[in-house]
């Protein structure tokens, strides 16, 4: 991501039956919808057909794998939204949500003292064995971005797979430059004797263009790109883009990729000085509140040459790890604006265009490339195991913090850990039910016994079971912390001979947010639409009781309650007396989700 904060088009719309919580409410506050299209998420095809038969609209884009379509209504857009999202079998109706790539040419210096491609040594990429570099050829890295300059020597040598989700062609001309820069960092050729070297070794490159020349995307284009990449063999997907709110179609795209075994890598954003908000899709991959535990991918921050957090890089409980993102060197699109991407001469280079870039956008693809190398060292790993290895071998030594996550990427250490696991086959898995955790482990190499240890909130390791011949265990945990479990294989004398990568779980309460909007339903009646947002996938927003309150002289008084649907929506229809009324919605909190209260809304009845 670059150094300009993302914005999202957000709206609330609802049409309900009194006392129910059936219709969807898009994240955000009440505002005008953008003209043109809406995204309809549905439970099944018959429900969609029935909705469009009753309310005519042109289908602009189909995403059957996500049970979503983009449509352009024949009549009034708001009327269409209010009518359709109240229908049975329609999960949500949302506007297109904006996504942007982020970079800031003004912060990209014209020269850097020392090695041009300094990030190569900073992540110890230069110490990865050649057999691993070659072994990554079985992995395809997809870069979802603004396209790529296929004449750039390091990209041309990879003969990338290409697709443009906007034009539905294979033409991916990058007039912005962001996608070319990102692609070369992730998978630029390492053996063509020209230009720079990407992080992914001999991994294949897939370029999926979803962005425009100005660097903007939409969530539906992002989702379509993710699905296309997964369906065409991508194992790693880089998303150097983001926005301040998520959507149903984006969440479904992430879930689809995860279900197919792909590893998603996203930049966390560059808005530290503009509010340091959680941005998406990074917030879907490593959920806020998780502190590096679990998740569905890797959310990447940017580091400096000194291994510190870059000043612009977002922080928070949703960080996974960091990688160099300040004045990194890579290939530049020949079609891009020279003022946006200043050209820098590369000594000894005969072709191609090169320069520096700054932003978390350029940290993420280095992690994506490293993931391909980890798979090159051990193809049997699952996506979540690759993510864990990259986190646990980073510079933090297995300890997490809100500045850099688990620390700065160390590719050589990650590859070595993957190779060790391939030799010993020592792996640990777990599942959580409430505050109880069930662990299972296995080892290909013979072991006399196993030792189970745990860390709490990144503290010192504590041994839970010194030695056992069992391959499973059940532990009860105190809520409010993040835990990391490790299993070691012991020889006959009780000495550890191999250790698994940790399995992490968070028992922290996820943060919640509440938004409330109202719509006039008659002379003295209003419809109130509330949405409960959850910053963390481990805590679903559905089946939560929300309390509607009204303000009087004695303070806030309860006016009713409703239970949220699966998307976190709750709705009321109420009659009010003449005058001005202040209303709010409150969630009292639960064991896994913190309490939240909406901002009050004022309703005047004449």
| Statement: residue 108 has pLDDT above 80 | no
Pairing assessment for the beta strands 98-100 and 216-218 based on DSSP bridges: antiparallel
Domain boundaries of the chain, sorted by first residue: 38-94, 100-421, 427-499, 511-605
Q: How long a stretch of residues is the chain?
A: 606
Q: Which of 91, 92, 145, 149 is catalytic?
A: 145
pLDDT digits (tens, 9 = 90+) for 307-349: 999 999 999 999 999 999 998 999 999 988 877 777 888 887 7
Residue 523 pLDDT grade (very low, low, confident, very high; cuts 50, 70, 90)? confident
Cα gap 35→22, rounded to integer Å: 25
Residue 297 and residue 266 in contact, taking contact as beta carbons nearer than 8 Å? yes
Identified catalytic residue from 27, 55, 154, 178: 178
**Topology match between the domains 427-499 and 511-605:** yes
Is residue 493 predicted with pLDDT exceeding 80?
A: yes
- 178 in catalytic set: yes
What per-residue confidence (pLDDT) applies to 437? Answer: 92
Q: Where are the beta strands (DSSP E) in 469-524?
A: 472-476, 482-490, 496-499, 503-506, 511-520
pLDDT at 6 over 60: no
401-457 residue pLDDT tens? 999 999 999 999 999 999 988 888 898 999 888 788 999 999 988 899 999 999 988
pTM (2 d.p.): 0.79
Residue-wise pLDDT tens digits, 584-594:
999 988 767 88
| Predicted confidence (pLDDT) at residue 14 exceeds the cutoff of 50 | no
Is-catalytic flag, 361? Answer: yes
Instruction: State the architecture of 100-421 in CATH terms.
Output: 3-Layer(aba) Sandwich (3.40)
pLDDT at residue 388, rounded to an integer: 93
Give me the chain's average pLDDT, please. 86
Q: What are the pLDDT digits (tens) for 31-59? A: 344 458 889 999 999 999 999 999 999 99
Report, as an integer, the average pLDDT of 69-96.
87
Round to whole Å and give the CA distance between 345 and 89: 58
Distance CA 20, CA 349 (A): 67
CATH fold label, 427-499: Immunoglobulin-like (2.60.40)
Q: Which of 148-162, 352-366, 524-538 has the lowest mean pLDDT?
A: 524-538
- Confidence at residue 5, expressed as pLDDT on a 0 to 100 scale: 27
The catalytically annotated residue of 361, 395, 500, 506 is: 361
Instruction: Answer whether residue 82 shows pLDDT above 80.
Output: yes
- Rounded to a whole number of angstroms, the CA Rg of the chain reads 25
pLDDT top residue among 381 and 573: 381
Residue 508 pLDDT = 73
pLDDT band at 479 (very low <50, low <70, confident <90, very high): confident
Q: Which CATH number fits domain 511-605: 2.40.170.20, 3.50.50.60, 2.60.40.2470, 3.30.360.10?
A: 2.60.40.2470
CA 10 – CA 15 distance, rounded (Å): 17
Look at domain 38-94 and name its CATH class.
alpha beta
Query: What percent of the chain is modeled with pLDDT above 90?
Result: 52
Q: Which of the residue ranges 118-127, 265-274, 367-376, 560-569 would you say has the lowest mean pLDDT?
A: 560-569
CA distance linking residue 161 with residue 247, whole number of Å: 28
The C-alpha atoms of residue 144 and residue 223 are separated, in whole angstroms, by 10
At 25, the pLDDT band (50, 70, 90 cuts) reads very low
Q: Write out the two tokens for 365.
A: 């693809």
């Amino acid at each position: 991501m670059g150094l300009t904060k993302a914005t999202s088009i957000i709206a609330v719309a609802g049409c309900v039956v009194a006392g129910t919580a059936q219709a969807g409410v898009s994240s955000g506050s009440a505002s005008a919808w953008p003209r043109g299209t809406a995204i309809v998420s549905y439970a099944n095809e018959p429900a969609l057909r029935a909705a469009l038969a009753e309310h005519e609209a042109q289908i602009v884009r189909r995403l059957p794998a996500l049970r979503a379509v983009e449509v352009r209504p024949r009549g009034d857009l708001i009327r269409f939204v209010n009518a359709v999202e109240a229908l049975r079998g329609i999960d949500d109706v949302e506007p297109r949500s904006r996504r942007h790539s982020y970079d800031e040419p003004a912060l990209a210096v014209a020269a850097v003292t020392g090695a041009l491609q300094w990030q190569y040594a900073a992540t110890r990429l230069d110490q990865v064995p050649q057999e691993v570099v070659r072994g990554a050829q079985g992995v395809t890295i997809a870069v979802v971005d603004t396209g790529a300059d296929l004449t750039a020597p390091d990209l041309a040598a990879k003969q990338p797979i290409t697709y443009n989700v906007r034009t539905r062609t294979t033409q991916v001309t990058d007039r912005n430059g962001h996608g070319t820069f990102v692609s070369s960092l992730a998978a630029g050729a390492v053996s063509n004797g020209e230009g720079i070297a990407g992080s992914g070794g001999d991994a294949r490159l897939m370029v999926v263009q979803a962005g425009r020349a100005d660097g903007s995307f939409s969530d539906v284009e992002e989702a379509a790109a993710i699905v296309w990449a997964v369906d065409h063999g991508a194992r790693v997907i880089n998303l150097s883009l983001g926005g301040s709110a998520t959507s149903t179609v984006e969440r479904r795209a992430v879930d689809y990729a995860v279900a197919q075994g792909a590893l998603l890598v996203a930049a966390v954003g560059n808005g530290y000085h503009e509010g340091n908000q959680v941005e998406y899709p990074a917030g879907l991959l490593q959920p806020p509140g998780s502190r590096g535990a679990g998740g569905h991918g890797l959310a990447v921050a940017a580091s400096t040459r000194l291994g510190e957090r870059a000043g612009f890089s977002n922080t928070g409980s949703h960080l996974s790890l960091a990688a160099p993102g300040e004045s990194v060197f890579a290939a530049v699109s020949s079609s891009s604006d020279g003022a946006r991407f200043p050209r820098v001469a590369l000594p000894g280079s005969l072709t191609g265009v090169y320069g520096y870039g700054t932003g978390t956008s350029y940290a993420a693809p280095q992690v994506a490339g490293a993931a391909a190398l980890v798979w090159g060292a051990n193809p049997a790993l699952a996506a979540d195991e690759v993510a864990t290895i990259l986190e646990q071998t980073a510079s933090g030594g297995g300890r997490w913090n809100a500045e850099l996550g688990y620390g700065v990427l160390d590719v050589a250490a990650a590859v070595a850990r993957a190779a060790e696991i391939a030799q010993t086959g020592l792996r640990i898995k777990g599942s959580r039910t409430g505050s109880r955790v069930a662990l299972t482990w296995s080892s290909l190499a013979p072991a006399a016994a196993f030792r189970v240890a745990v860390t709490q909130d990144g503290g010192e390791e504590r041994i839970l079971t010194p030695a056992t011949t069992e391959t499973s265990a059940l532990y009860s945990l105190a809520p409010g912390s993040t835990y990391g479990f490790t299993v070691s294989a012991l020889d006959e004398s009780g000495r550890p001979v191999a250790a698994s990568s940790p399995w992490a779980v968070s028992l922290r309460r996820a943060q919640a947010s509440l938004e409330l909007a109202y719509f006039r339903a008659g002379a003295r009646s209003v419809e109130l639409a509330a949405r409960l947002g959850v910053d963390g996938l481990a805590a679903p927003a559905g089946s939560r009781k929300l309390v509607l309150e009204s303000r009087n002289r004695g303070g806030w008084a309860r006016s009713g309650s409703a239970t949220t649907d699966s998307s976190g929506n709750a709705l009321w229809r109420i009659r009010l007396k003449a005058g001005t009324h202040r209303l709010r919605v409150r969630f009292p909190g639960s064991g896994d989700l913190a309490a939240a209260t909406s901002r009050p809304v004022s309703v005047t009845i004449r």
